[in-house]
Each structure stands twice: as C-alpha cells, then as structure tokens.
Structure 1
Amino acid sequence: MANNDTIKKTIIVALSLCIVCSVVVSTAAVLLKPMQIENKELDFKRNILMAAGLMEDGKTVDELFAQINTRMVDLNTGKFTDAVKAESYDQRKASKDPKRSTELSAQEDVAKIGRREDIAKVYLLKKDGVIEKVILPIKGYGLWSTLYGFIALESDFNTVVGLGFYEHGETPGLGGEVDNPKWKAYWVGKEVYANGDVAIDVVKGSAPAGDKHKVDGLSGATLTSVGVENLVKFWMGENGYANFLDNLKNGEA
C-alpha cells in the first residue's frame, strides 16, 4: 500500500490550503471594501454631528447630515474658496504635501503637527441663511498619538457646543478618557476667546466653578490633557481658524 504521509504530499497539501485561504481572504477584502469605506464615512459624519450636538433618535446619520453645509476654507486668507472640491479633498494627505501645506516653526507648532494644510474642510449648520453652528476639524499630538477630532462653536463663534475625537492611540483608562462623555461635557458652554485672544485652558484637576475658559484635566493623563489644550489653542489661533472666524463675524468670509 502506498504511503500517503510523504513529505512531498504534505507540502503540496499545505501549499494548496494556503492558496485557497489566500484567494478567500483576498476576495472577501475586495467585496467588503466598499462597505468598509461607507462605514468609515458614516462614522466620520456621526462624529461631526455628535460634536455639534445634532444626533437624534429615530433619524439616520445621512438624514441628519443633510442639514450640514460643507465648505472649503483657505486658512491663509481665512476665506471660503472653490479652489478644490470638498468631495475629493483629503485634508490629511494635503497636510503632508509641501505643495498644499505650510511648514510650522517650533514656536508656532504647539500642536506638534509639523505642517498645516493650506485648505481646510469646515461644516456649517445654517437656518434661514444664518450660521447657527460651525464645526471645525482639529488635530494634534497627545502622549502617544495624534488625536483627530472636531470642535463645534455657537453662532457667536466663541462658545463651545462640543468637542470630540474620532481617532487616537492614547492609553485606555487614562488619556483615552478623551472619549468619555462626562469629560467631553465639561467643554460645553466654555468660551474660546477673551479680549480677542485664545483663553481656553485644560487645567490639572478641577476647573474653578463658573470659569468660562477653564476645563477639567484628565485624571492621571497630564500629557494628554496638555496635548488637547495645545491643539485647541493652535487651531483656534492665528495659524488655524482665527482669521476665518473673524471674517465670519464680520460677514467677510
């Protein structure tokens, strides 16, 4: 009787199994990619809506997002631009392209992002042609990672509606508490500016009661707290959205 347990047959079976598994995995990846892209876009929209306090039970993300007006802003001029199309613009890629971004000096780069994209995608909630809320993408380095998120402001372009991060690699239970709804709630109603200057601070421990510019720090995560403070200060400052927000106030955007 022939011996089926030869090394040659074992190798052939193993290789055949590897090939079959590779084909199955590759096919699944191709078939699932459109669904993955769609889910990623929905999650992105959901985070914008959450930052603006616009999530509602009984309505889909797409239904709620239909009220949002997406616009492109030239951060160098602080004005709207039609130089690029929102649908095809990848803001993260633009920030890494020397032709589409600005290198920051060490003094300017408090958010530790290296380069700042020249054009940003912003989100507006309007009613009867008047801006009620503006949602702005923000990013900056924490302790272990770059945090990507949004900050939403009221129609005075100063009062915080909400803040949230949709991507980061901070330590769970410590810096990862940036995702904690209780901590995010501390930001609601705070004011970014005082006398024209960025005045928001994330303090160690608890913020003084009634202080409109100070937010409780994350317990046990001082460096992440500092990172969040710095990235908010950067994006709300002159190298971020300050000129754009001033133009909105003055009706010049």
Structure 2
Amino acid sequence: MAFSTRFTVGFMATICVVCSALVSVAAVTLRDRHQVNALRDRQRNVLVAAGLVERGEKVSEETVAELFEARVKTLVVDLEEGTIDTSIDPTTYDPRRAAQDPEQRRRLAENSAGLVATAPYELVYELTDEDGELDAIVLPVAGRGLWSTLYGYLALEADLVTVRGIAFYEHAETPGLGGEVDSARWRASWKGRRAFDEEGKPVIAVTKGPAPPPEDEPHEVDGLSGATITANGVTGLVRFWLGEEGFGPFLARYAKERGR
C-alpha cells in the first residue's frame, strides 16, 4: 500500500514531536533526581562530620532527610560581612558554582588553602539538640592537597572552639597516604581538639606522627604518614576557613550574639 508524501511527512513529524517530548521528560526527571541525590549526599556528609551518622553506615535517604530536617538548619553566610543572609534560598544556592563564576566569586590573594577564589556566600549548618539548643556548627572547608582540591566539612561543638569532627567527601589524594584523610582512625583524632588559641587565632595543625592526647596538646592532630604535603594542605585549609577570609567574622559575630 503506497502512502502519500503528505502522510509520510506528517507521520515523521509526529514521531519527532513524540520523541522530543519523551527526551525532554526524561531529561527533566534525571535532572531532578540528580539534584535530590546531590542534596542527600550533602546532608549525609554534614551528618557524618557532626557524628550523627557513621561513614559507610547504611542509612536510607528517608532517614537522612528526616534527621536533617529535625536537627539541622541551613544558614547562608555572607563571608565578607560575617552575617546571615536570609534573602538567599539555601536549597538552590550553589557555592561551588558561584566560586567559578567571574561575576560572583571573591578573588583571593595568596592564602594557606591554595584557593584562587571563593563564593561570596557559603552554607553553614546549625545543629540543635532535642531541646532546640545549639549542639554544633558544621562549616564547609576546601583547599589544595598534593594532587587535588579537598572538599569537606568541619564540625565545631557549641562552644565554637572544640572540634567535634571532620569529614572529606571529595579529593584525589594517594590511597594509603594522603587518602588516609578518609580513615576513621585519623578522623577520630580531631575530636576534642581546640581549633583556636586563647586569642581566637586558628592554630589547629596536623602534626608529624601521633599527636598527644587533647588534654596534653589540644591543638595538634595525628599526622598522615608519608603524606606531608597533604597534611600541610589540611592544616592550611582548616586555618583558612576558620580565619578572617573564611568564617572568622561569622563565628565571632555568632559567638557574641549567643554570649559565648
């Protein structure tokens, strides 16, 4: 049976429209799913740094979302002013994208984190206990190691001085050497250390070899065997983000407002 040219063209056009619609729907669905996955990963890593979830622990997305909703408030912090900006939606703002945008990013002079620029705003996570009292603050941190930029979170206790935990979620450091930043043993050595000295200067450092107990040496963390450059990088990035170009102004203002 022969088909007219008009029928053939119309049929092909219909097929194209249907296929385009299906591709568009699939693209939107995948994009939305990717955004949800990225959000859950971020929430999980914040909870790991705060010690509410163990790395590698099998916790469902629903549990992560519920725990985050119950215990965590996301703050958008203006790094220049040290203030909380309530006009920006923390669910849609992407600091890493902003840091790469020439129209938005803060250009930096040479610094201990080895960063060229940061976003003008960062997302900070305020954890509360069951009574609604401040339990911890989780700060995003990033900086150069040996082979890569490390991205992670540093959790401070409610006194805003004592470290509760640290968790890196992205890097390309050498497995077994600098990659030991992922090990539970090394991460545990941060707990109970004091990030600042009596004058409020960030002084915490990754030392060489095992660090003494926190009560003997409150500012030193276990070293990374065979990974001096990565260790120095971690020291540099943590001090940077706790300092004046990072969250220093915010932490000072936040502590003053809470009488700490």
Assess same fold via TM > 0.5.
yes
**Deviations 1:184-232, CA, capped at 9 Å, x for gaps:** 0000111000021111011111223421100111111111111111000
List structure 1 segments (4+ residues) > 4 angstroms apart after TM superposition. 29-34, 56-59
Identify the match of residue 122 of structure 1 among 110, 121, 124.
124
Taking only the aligned residue pairs, the percentage that are identical comes to 44
Alignment match, 1:226: 232
Alignment partner of 1:73 is 2:55: no
Which whole-Å CA distance do the structure 2 matches of 1:212 and 1:37 have between them?
39
Q: Larger deviation: 51-60 or 208-217?
A: 51-60
**Deviations 1:22-73, CA, capped at 9 Å, x for gaps:** xxxx99x846554444333222211100100112887711111112101111
Alignment match, 1:43: 41
Alignment match, 1:206: 210
Alignment match, 1:84: 88
The gaps in structure 2 that reach 5 residues or longer are 1-22
> Is the strand fraction higher in 1 or 2?
1
Alignment match, 2:223: 217
Alignment partner of 1:135 is 2:138: yes
| Structure 1 letter corresponding to 2:217 | D
- Mark the CA change 1:36 to 1:83 in structure 2 (over 3 Å): closer, same or farther: closer
Which whole-Å CA distance do the structure 2 matches of 1:239 and 1:58 have between them?
35
Which whole-Å CA distance do the structure 2 matches of 1:164 and 1:93 have between them?
21
Which whole-Å CA distance do the structure 1 matches of 2:183 and 2:195 have between them?
21
What is the DSSP-based 3-state SS (H/G/I as helix, E as strand, rest coil) of the residue aligned with 1:124? strand
- Alignment TM-score, normalising by the size of structure 1: 0.82
Mapping 1:173-212, distance limit 5 Å: 173-195=176-198, 196-209=200-213, 210-212=216-218
- Structure 1 residue 97: Cα displacement: 2.2
Aligned residue pair count: 225
| Structure 2 letter corresponding to 1:86 | P
Alignment match, 2:162: 159
- Mark the CA change 1:97 to 1:36 in structure 2 (over 3 Å): closer, same or farther: closer
Which whole-Å CA distance do the structure 2 matches of 1:77 and 1:131 have between them?
22
The gaps in structure 1 that reach 5 residues or longer are 1-25
Alignment partner of 1:62 is 2:65: yes
| Structure 2 letter corresponding to 1:142 | G
Mapping 1:17-56, distance limit 5 Å: 30=27, 34-55=32-53
What is the DSSP-based 3-state SS (H/G/I as helix, E as strand, rest coil) of the residue aligned with 1:61? helix
CA contact (8 A) 1:79 1:252 kept: no
| Structure 1 letter corresponding to 2:38 | K
CA contact (8 A) 1:55 1:64 kept: no
What is the DSSP-based 3-state SS (H/G/I as helix, E as strand, rest coil) of the residue aligned with 1:207? coil
Which whole-Å CA distance do the structure 2 matches of 1:75 and 1:33 have between them?
30
What is the DSSP-based 3-state SS (H/G/I as helix, E as strand, rest coil) of the residue aligned with 2:66? helix
What is the DSSP-based 3-state SS (H/G/I as helix, E as strand, rest coil) of the residue aligned with 2:40? helix
Alignment partner of 1:113 is 2:115: yes
CA contact (8 A) 1:159 1:191 kept: yes
- Structure 1 residue 176: Cα displacement: 0.8
- Alignment TM-score, normalising by the size of structure 2: 0.80
- Structure 1 residue 101: Cα displacement: 2.3
